[in-house]
């Protein structure tokens, strides 16, 4: 098995390792240019930045800025998300790609490549 196959295997595994849990969640992204698929694991501890309310001196919410690069055209995709103080999602934006649901992502993964 080549290194490339190993790398693809990490992203392509369909086991239970990509289940969401309390400390992390997944974003499913399709590149806008080449339509390559990328699953990005977001660690709530290390990837989310706190936003402080200067009036109350407490955490008012969280935000995420994540650069994503797919494996086909290597064009950077930028993800910006905001969360409330309980880390519930408030908004999400993406530049250079589009968000997919987990179901869309897995269906696209399973489908044969449409090269014709």
- The residues that touch Zn ion, with contacts defined as CB under 5 A, are 31, 33-34, 36, 70, 72-73, 75
Q: Do 18 and 28 form a contact (C-beta atoms < 8 A)? A: no
Taking CB atoms, the residue at the shortest distance from Zn ion is: 31
- Decide: residue 31, CB within 10 A, 0-12 exposed, 13-18 middle, 19+ buried: buried
Residue closer to Zn ion (CB basis): 28 or 70: 70
């Amino acid at each position: 098995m080549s290194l490339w196959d190993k790398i693809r295997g990490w992203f392509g595994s369909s086991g239970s390792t990509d289940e969401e849990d309390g400390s992390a969640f997944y974003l499913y992204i399709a590149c806008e240019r080449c339509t390559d698929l990328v699953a990005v694991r977001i660690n709530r501890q290390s990837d989310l930045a706190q936003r402080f309310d200067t009036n109350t001196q407490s955490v008012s919410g969280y935000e995420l800025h994540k650069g994503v690069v797919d494996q086909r055209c290597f064009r950077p995709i930028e993800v910006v998300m905001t969360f409330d103080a309980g880390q519930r999602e408030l908004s999400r934006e993406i530049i250079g790609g589009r968000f997919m649901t987990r179901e869309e992502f897995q269906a696209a993964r399973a489908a044969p490549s449409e090269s014709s």
